């Protein structure tokens, strides 16, 4: 099989199906190193894909919808999994993926584990949530997006003790407007980047000059998530639970003025 979505690749590894993977996307190396790269989020190398002869190709909805449709048109057996609106959706995807790859029992067990860990985080949430502006930064630095109320990332931020300023938006993602963010005056800022970017605070501030006007940034309440397992708001895989745990520690740290990031 081939996985073109890092979250699904991570799930397949946890299901015990890594040996059946014959190809992955360029972004899946964190979870399945040494597997042949056959594509990206939005494209594939068709000759290489045919060479590995996948019986199944799995993708994540939203960004990969068009690629999924093209794969189906070209005769590939492809499955697309929904973009989760919460960590419970991540659990649902684990159960569904287990069924697709003939690991139903393992999928249900993984789903139960994710759901159980999510409930534990919910039961230990702080009584007061700090307002948070969260932003995704992509390698070109020109596309900026924030999680809306239909994003699993909004749930992660909430479990970490934050109240996403765009939680009211009924979409998975929204395009943030500096004047809106400034008016909302969030108590903390969270920036999530691809691991390959090696994003630093200095680099982010240089590329986002308006953000310096926020009191949260001036007072050091800026968190940079540099990508990879447990530190990625754009990764709707099982390790999103770990991201919520680590982000809770980071958020508590910056709100109490002890952040070292």
Residue 249 domain-assigned (yes or no)? yes
Q: Say how many domains are in the chain.
A: 2
Is the per-residue pLDDT at 254 higher than 50?
A: yes
Same domain for 247 and 180? yes
Work out the pLDDT band at 259, boundaries 50, 70, 90.
Answer: very low
Same domain for 188 and 145? yes
Report how far apart, in Å, the C-alpha atoms of 183 and of each of 118, 210, 214, 215 are: 32, 13, 9, 11
Q: In what order do the strands lie in the sheet with 57-60?
A: 37-39, 23-25, 2-3, 57-60, 78-81
Same domain for 191 and 153? yes
Structural domain harbouring 30: 2-121
Which CATH number belongs to the domain containing residue 222 in this structure? Answer: 3.40.50.1980
**65-124 pLDDT, tens per residue?**
999 999 999 999 999 999 999 999 999 999 999 999 999 999 999 999 999 999 999 999
**What whole-number distance in Å separates Cα of residue 107 and Cα of residue 30?**
21
Q: Who's near 36: CB < 8 A, 6+ residues apart?
A: 22, 23, 24, 48, 52
Residue 105 domain-assigned (yes or no)? yes
Same domain for 224 and 191? yes
Choose the final residue of a domain: 121, 153, 180. 121
Choose the final residue of a domain: 121, 140, 157. 121
pLDDT at position 179 is 96
Residue 184 domain-assigned (yes or no)? yes
Choose the final residue of a domain: 88, 121, 154. 121
Same domain for 79 and 57? yes
Residue 260 domain-assigned (yes or no)? no
Same domain for 101 and 176? no
Cα 253 to the center of its chain, rounded Å? 22
Same domain for 209 and 250? yes
Residue 204 domain-assigned (yes or no)? yes
Mean pLDDT for 37-66 is: 96
Same domain for 86 and 171? no
Residue 261 domain-assigned (yes or no)? no
Is the per-residue pLDDT at 257 higher than 80?
A: no
Residue 201 domain-assigned (yes or no)? yes
Same domain for 112 and 131? no
**195-252 pLDDT, tens per residue?**
888 999 999 999 999 999 999 999 999 999 999 899 999 999 999 999 999 999 999 9
Same domain for 95 and 179? no
Residue 251 domain-assigned (yes or no)? yes
Report how far apart, in Å, the C-alpha atoms of 113 and of each of 2, 40, 116, 159 are: 25, 29, 5, 16
């Amino acid at each position: 099989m081939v996985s073109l979505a890092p979250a699904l690749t991570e799930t397949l590894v946890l299901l015990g199906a890594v040996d059946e993977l014959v190809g992955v996307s360029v972004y899946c190396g964190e979870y399945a190193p040494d597997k042949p790269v056959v594509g990206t989020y939005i494209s594939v190398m068709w000759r290489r894909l045919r060479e590995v002869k996948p019986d199944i190709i799995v993708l994540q909805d939203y960004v990969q919808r068009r690629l999924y449709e093209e794969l189906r048109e070209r005769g590939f057996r492809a499955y697309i999994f929904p973009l989760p609106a919460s960590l419970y959706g991540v659990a649902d995807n684990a159960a569904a993926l287990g069924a697709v790859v003939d690991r139903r029992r393992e999928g249900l067990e993984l789903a139960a584990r994710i759901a159980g860990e999510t409930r534990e985080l919910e039961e230990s949430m702080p009584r007061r949530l700090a307002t948070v502006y969260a932003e995704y930064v992509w390698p070109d630095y020109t596309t900026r997006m924030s999680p809306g109320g239909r994003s699993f990332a909004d749930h992660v931020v909430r479990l970490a003790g934050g109240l996403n300023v765009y939680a009211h938006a009924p979409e998975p993602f929204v395009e943030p407007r500096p004047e809106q963010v400034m008016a909302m005056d969030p108590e903390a800022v969270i920036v999530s980047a691809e691991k390959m970017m090696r994003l630093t605070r200095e680099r982010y501030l240089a590329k986002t000059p308006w953000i310096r006007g926020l009191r949260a940034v001036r007072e050091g309440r800026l968190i940079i998530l540099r990508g990879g397992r447990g530190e990625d708001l754009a990764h709707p895989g099982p390790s999103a639970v770990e991201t919520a745990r680590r982000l809770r520690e980071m958020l508590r740290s910056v709100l109490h003025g002890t952040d070292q990031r």
